[in-house]
Amino acid sequence: MEYLEQIGRLAKEGAQKLRILPGGRKNEILESVAQELLLAQDEILTANEQDMEAARARGMSAGLLDRLALNPARIRSMADGLRQVAALEDPVGEVLWMKKRPNGLLIGQKRVPLGVVGIIYEARPNVTADAFGLCFKSGNAAVLKGGSDAIHSNRAIVTALQRALMKGGLGEGILQLIDSTDRQVTAEFMKMNDYLDVLIPRGGAGLIRTVVRESTVPVIETGTGNCHIYVDASADLSMALDIIDNAKTGRVGVCNACESMVIHEAVAQTFLPRLCDRLDAHHVEIRGDKKACEADRRIQPATEEDWGMEYLDYILSVKTVKSLDEAIAHINRYNTGHSEAIVTRDYGNAQRFLDEIDAAAVYVNASTRFTDGSEFGFGAEIGISTQKLHARGPMGLKELTTTKYVIYGNGQIRP
């Protein structure tokens, strides 16, 4: 694995340079990288066509082909993304607190880059530019391992980005692509503790599970969302309808979509027929427990398995409960720690739901679809963390940093 060692060493050197690169200079370079990307449009599209042909020949599904495909508009959007990141505030250097200790030591906690960030993702070439932009702006060297299906596209994009970095006087360690489709290389990559400070998987549940299981490098788990909306007995039912419709059908393939609904039995009879009417328009299949099925015969019986499903499809499970306690217990048992919502008019129930539900984002009277870096005002996101360490919820630039204690003394020794 001499190849990976070499990448690791270069990344460390790159991180050392980036650690002290002033924010203004980073922004200039991001701008020139965006320009270079636009200039390289033809070579990127040619490379992408190679990937597309190979994928079509292998019979890749239309959905995946669409994720893989690039066109001038998508390249422009990648360049725009880099410019937007340049416009965000630099997270590096912020002093979170600083205070004088009784012995005269001045101790401060300062935000600094993580160092080297590894990113493993699937066949979405736009992630290549996006991930680089976020890592670079936050002062981190990036080592990218994209899906094999996108290898030519990724190579062309990285070549263009690197060209701009070189022109800006920065070495190749700033951004590197693991240019291999060998699974053994990926396996070794996940064990590069001497070089990688963190590994972030971006993709489906299978990829994330593999990285969590195989990696010895610290991982930030992103992604899966079995998001619930609980309709309380006191809910404004029209509001509940709008919220569920939005969270279920706005975009079904995303992690903040609603997959499960929990409803107080006092309003199930009234609400569920209205819900069926509303969701019929989108051909949503509803699977419910016994009481739910009794409320409307368009609801099909759910199995135990349904409660834990992230469908990412036009399917919704419905669980009826006798109390808020039962709702909270059900959600805390089956959720994936992503986003959960209550629709209620009751002050106490709203407060209890906010306190007792264990998830990255907990909502009162709003759609779970808002769990997103730009909706939260972070400007951009590298993913949505569903773990509790380091970052939880949408991860922006700050979540790609760590801190360092800086201590100013004048000769203090410890008694």
Q: Site for its own copies (CB under 8 A): how many residues?
A: 65
Q: How far is the CB of 180 from its own copies (least distance, A)?
A: 24
User: Using the rule CB under 8 A, is 366 a contact of its own copies?
Assistant: yes
Does position 380 bind its own copies by CB under 8 A?
Answer: no
- Residue 398 interacts with its own copies (CB under 8 A)? no
Query: Using the rule CB under 8 A, which residue among 24, 169, 253, 411 binds its own copies?
Result: 411
204 sits near its own copies (criterion: CB under 8 A): no
Options 155-163, 170-178, 313-321, 398-406: segment touching its own copies (CB under 8 A): 398-406
Q: Is 363 an interacting residue with respect to its own copies (CB under 8 A)?
A: yes
Question: Could you tell me where the DSSP H helices lie in 286-346?
Answer: 290-295, 304-307, 324-334
Instruction: Enumerate residues 31-90 that contact its own copies by CB under 8 A.
Output: none
Nearest approach in angstroms of CB 217 to its own copies is 10
358 binds its own copies per the rule CB under 8 A = yes
**Do 92 and 79 touch, CB atoms closer than 8 A?**
no
Please, which residue, 55 or 190, has the CB nearer to its own copies?
190
Contacts of its own copies in 87-106 (CB under 8 A): 99, 101, 105
Judge whether 258 and 228 are in contact, CB under 8 Å: yes
CA distances from 369 to 227, 268, 374, 399 (A): 9, 23, 12, 21
Site string for its own copies, 248-267 (x = CB under 8 A): --x-----------------
Nearest Cα residue to 199 out of 124, 139, 151, 143: 143
Task: Examine residue 107 and tell whether it contacts its own copies (CB under 8 A).
Answer: yes
Residue 319 CA to residue 196 CA, distance in Å, equals 43
Shortest CB 197 distance to its own copies, Å: 5
Between 99 and 183, CB nearer to its own copies: 99
Residue 413 vs residues 100, 103, 409: alpha-carbon distances, Å? 15, 9, 9
Rule CB under 8 A: say whether 364 interacts with its own copies.
Answer: yes
Stretch that binds its own copies, among 67-75, 174-182, 215-223, 275-283 (CB under 8 A): 215-223
Q: How far apart are CA 58 and CA 80, in angstroms?
A: 32
Binding mask 304-333 for its own copies (x = CB under 8 A): ----------------------------x-
Among the listed residues 120, 243, 272, 380, the single contact to its own copies using CB under 8 A: 243
Largest Cα separation within the chain, whole Å, is 79
Only segment of 155-163, 179-187, 295-303, 357-365 that touches its own copies (CB under 8 A):
357-365
- Say how far apart CA 372 and CA 331 lie, in whole Å: 21
Residue 170 half-sphere exposure toward CB, CA atoms < 13 A? 32
Distance between CA atoms of 24 and 30, rounded to whole angstroms?
10
Q: Which of 48, 65, 109, 102 has its CA nearest to residue 407? A: 109
Instruction: Report which secondary-structure segment, H or E, holds 34.
Output: helix 23-39
Which residue, 35 or 387, has its beta carbon nearer to its own copies? 387
Backbone φ and ψ of 231, nearest 5°: -100, 110
By CB under 8 A, the residues from 145 to 174 that bind its own copies are none
* Among 386, 264, 257, 239, residue whose Cα is nearest residue 319: 264
Regarding 299 and contact with its own copies (CB under 8 A), the answer is no
Based on the shown chain and the rule CB under 8 A, indicate whether residue 403 belongs to the binding site for its own copies.
yes
What gap in Å lies between CA 301 and CA 311, rounded to an integer? 16
Binding-site member from 55, 220, 255, 292 for its own copies (CB under 8 A): 220
Q: Are 136 and 164 in contact (CB under 8 A)?
A: no
CA 207, CA 210: separation in Å to the nearest integer?
A: 5
CA-to-CA distance for 167 and 144, rounded, in angstroms? 21
CA 91 to chain centre: 18
355 binds its own copies (CB under 8 A): yes
* Residue of 58, 213, 283, 297 interacting with its own copies (CB under 8 A): 213
Cα distance between residue 289 and residue 160, in whole Å: 54
CB-nearer residue toward its own copies: 137 or 392: 392
Binding its own copies (rule: CB under 8 A), the pick from 135, 361, 380, 382 is 361
Answer for which of 247, 286, 299, 302 binds its own copies (CB under 8 A) is 247
C-alpha distance from residue 388 to each of 322, 359, 368 (Å): 30, 9, 19
The residue ranges that bind its own copies (CB under 8 A) are: 16, 19-20, 99, 101, 105, 107, 114-115, 193, 197-198, 212-213, 216, 218-220, 236, 239, 242-243, 245-247, 250, 332, 354-356, 358-367, 369-371, 375-377, 387-390, 392-393, 402-414
